[in-house]
Structure 1
């Protein structure tokens, strides 16, 4: 069932949520990794235009930006190398956006509380 109540997001908002630049968002749209719709003269990204793995990262009632490597390290109280190692072994679930890895704040909070990755 399609949710018609979720408004498309402006490119700047998508960039903020994915913790990347608007230029990266434009590149992802050009490559076909993100779908966009034209609203007047502006482009916007509908929720269902995002890949499924990105959709799972967000609670769209209260969206929070994905976390960068250093933000995750600070949240978990470890080094960036430890975050990379935990991601490589599957202890932390990450999402690749372009060439960068990002982490869901929901997942990191669960991990910090001693839970397992989703």
Structure 2
């Protein structure tokens, strides 16, 4: 069986959807960037480069400078599946990001989103 289509999808293709989702709920692109940088360890400049390069999700997470150790505290359901039960590592990272964006769109405080 081949790779899931999300692995080969460019993060730049999904990024505007994340931003649009949270902006509809009164949150900001800056907050989306903060979440992505917190999760992956990319700096703001490095994130911009990854978006410009159209990096696919698999490469984006595989080459992330420092995946945040607190990401394992992320719990909840994305696409009907509890994120903590996802065994495939890259898919789990993608779903962690989805869950954080969902929490932002639902109005959760940034300190709670970033597991502080």
Structure-1-length-normalised TM-score = 0.31
RCO higher in structure (CA 8 A, sep ≥6): 2
Higher strand residue share: 1
Higher CA-based Rg:
1
